[in-house]
C-alpha cells in the first residue's frame, strides 16, 4: 500500500495521542472518518457504488452474466471478485505495481464471501447443472488514503444492494433444447438480499491500543493489523492478520471483540442510507464524479 514517511518524533506524538484516545484529527480510537456513499454511478453495469472514506475513494461495479455452475454445487450461482489498483491512486501502482495489492484484496474478498449465508447463492440458479447467474464484482481503487478493506467492503455491499438482475424465462424450443429469454422490461428484475453481507473492519495495533480506520501516517506507526469481517448480527466470517509484526493472543481476542462491536454498528446506518437513497428514486440528484 502507499506509504508515507514519518519522522521519529511524529511517531511518538501519534503513539501518545492514540494512547490517550485523541488522534491527530480529533477522532477517538473507534471513530470512522466522514463517509459518502452513492450507488448507480456507472450506467453500463447491473449495479454500482462509489464510496469515499476520508480521502480513500473506491468504485465497485457488478455485472451479472449467465454461466455454468460449479460441478460441486450445481444449484448455486457464484461471485467473482477482481480488484484493480489504478495508477490514479498513487504512482506506485503504475504498470504492474498494483497487482500484488490487488490480488491480496481480491483473495480476502473471496474468503469473506466463502460461506452459505452472506449471499443467497441458490437464488442465482437458473436451471440446475446448466445455467446460473455469475456476478462479476469489479473493484477500482481511485484514491488511497488508508483503510482500503473497510471502504471496499462497504462499497461491495452497496453495489450488491443496487444490483438488478433481469428475470429469466426458460422455455423449450422446437428441438427440445432449453432456451433462455431475458425479460425486456427494465424494471422486471430480481434484487439481492444483502442483509447478511458482511462488512470488513480493520483493527490496527498502534502501541498498546487498537485503532479503527487508520490514516497513512498512523499506519506507518503500526506493525500489525487484524482484518475482521462481521455481519449485522455480529457473526464473524473471516479473520486475517496482515503486517510484519506479531500480535499477542490476548490482544487478538480483544481486537476481535472490538471489531465485532464496531462492525455490527456499521450495518444499520448503511442499510438506512441505502434505503433512503432508493426511496428518493428519480428525485435524487446524481453527483457522480463531479462533486
Residues that bind another protein (CB under 8 A): 5-10, 12-13, 16-17, 19-20, 22-28, 30-38, 52, 262, 265-266, 269-270, 273, 276-277, 284-285, 287, 290-291
Q: Locate 5 and state its grid cell.
A: 514517511
Q: Locate 211 and state its grid cell.
A: 485503532
Cα gap 72→75, rounded to integer Å:
9
Contact between 217 and 37 under an 8 Å Cβ cutoff? The reply is: no
Q: Locate 91 and state its grid cell.
A: 504512482
User: Among candidates 165, 209, 171, which has minimal Cα distance to 189?
Assistant: 165
Cβ closest to another protein, residue 24 vs residue 128: 24
Cβ closest to another protein, residue 19 vs residue 68: 19
Cα gap 73→119, rounded to integer Å:
15
Q: Which helix (H) or strand (E) holds 79?
A: strand 78-85
Instruction: Provide, rounded to whole angstroms, the least separation between the CB of residue 217 and another protein.
Output: 8
Output b/e per residue, 208-247; b: 16+ Cβ within 10 A.
Answer: ebbbbbbbbbbbbbbebbbbbbbbbeebebbebeeeeeeb
Cβ closest to another protein, residue 25 vs residue 65: 25
User: How many alpha carbons fall within 13 Å on the CB side of residue 105?
Assistant: 25
What residues contact residue 28 under an 8 Å CB cut-off, 6+ apart?
Answer: 21, 22
Instruction: Provide, rounded to whole angstroms, the least separation between the CB of residue 290 and another protein.
Output: 8
Cβ closest to another protein, residue 56 vs residue 106: 56
Cβ closest to another protein, residue 32 vs residue 82: 32
Cβ closest to another protein, residue 16 vs residue 178: 16
Question: With the C-alpha atoms ordered 17, 225, 233, 80, is the resulting torsion angle positive or negative?
Answer: positive
Q: Locate 137 and state its grid cell.
A: 464484482
Helices assigned H by DSSP within 72-115: 99-112
Cβ closest to another protein, residue 20 vs residue 179: 20
Instruction: Provide, rounded to whole angstroms, the least separation between the CB of residue 22 and another protein.
Output: 5
Instruction: Provide, rounded to whole angstroms, the least separation between the CB of residue 163 and another protein.
Output: 19
User: How many alpha carbons fall within 13 Å on the CB side of residue 259?
Assistant: 30
Cβ closest to another protein, residue 12 vs residue 180: 12
Instruction: Provide, rounded to whole angstroms, the least separation between the CB of residue 284 and another protein.
Output: 8
Amino acid at each position: 500500500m502507499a506509504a508515507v514517511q514519518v519522522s521519529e518524533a511524529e511517531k511518538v506524538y501519534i503513539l501518545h495521542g492514540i494512547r490517550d484516545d485523541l488522534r491527530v484529527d480529533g477522532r477517538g480510537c473507534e471513530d470512522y472518518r466522514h463517509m459518502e456513499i452513492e450507488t448507480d454511478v456507472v450506467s453500463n453495469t447491473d449495479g454500482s457504488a462509489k464510496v469515499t472514506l476520508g480521502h480513500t475513494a473506491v468504485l465497485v461495479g457488478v455485472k451479472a452474466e449467465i454461466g455454468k455452475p460449479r460441478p460441486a454445487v450445481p444449484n448455486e450461482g457464484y461471485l467473482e471478485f477482481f480488484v484493480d489498483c489504478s495508477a490514479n491512486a498513487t504512482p506506485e501502482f503504475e504498470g504492474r505495481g498494483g497487482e500484488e495489492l490487488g490480488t491480496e484484496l481480491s483473495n480476502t474478498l473471496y474468503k469473506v464471501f466463502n460461506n452459505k449465508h452472506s449471499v443467497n447463492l441458490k437464488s442465482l440458479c437458473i436451471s440446475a447443472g446448466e445455467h446460473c447467474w455469475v456476478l462479476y464484482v469489479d473493484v477500482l481503487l481511485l484514491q488511497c488514503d488508508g483503510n482500503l478493506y473497510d471502504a471496499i467492503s462497504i462499497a461491495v455491499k452497496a453495489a450488491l444492494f443496487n444490483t438488478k438482475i433481469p428475470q429469466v424465462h426458460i422455455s423449450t424450443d422446437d428441438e427440445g433444447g432449453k432456451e433462455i429469454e431475458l425479460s425486456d422490461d427494465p424494471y422486471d428484475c430480481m434484487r439481492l438480499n444483502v442483509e447478511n453481507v458482511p462488512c470488513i473492519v480493520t483493527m490496527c495495533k498502534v502501541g498498546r491500543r487498537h485503532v479503527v480506520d487508520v490514516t497513512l501516517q498512523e499506519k506507518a506507526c503500526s506493525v500489525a493489523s487484524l482484518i475482521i469481517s462481521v455481519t449485522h448480527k455480529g457473526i464473524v466470517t473471516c479473520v486475517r492478520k496482515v503486517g510484519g509484526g506479531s500480535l499477542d493472543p490476548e490482544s487478538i481476542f480483544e481486537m476481535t471483540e472490538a471489531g465485532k462491536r464496531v462492525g455490527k454498528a456499521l450495518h444499520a446506518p448503511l442499510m438506512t442510507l441505502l434505503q433512503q437513497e432508493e426511496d428518493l428514486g428519480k428525485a435524487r440528484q446524481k453527483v457522480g464524479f463531479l462533486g
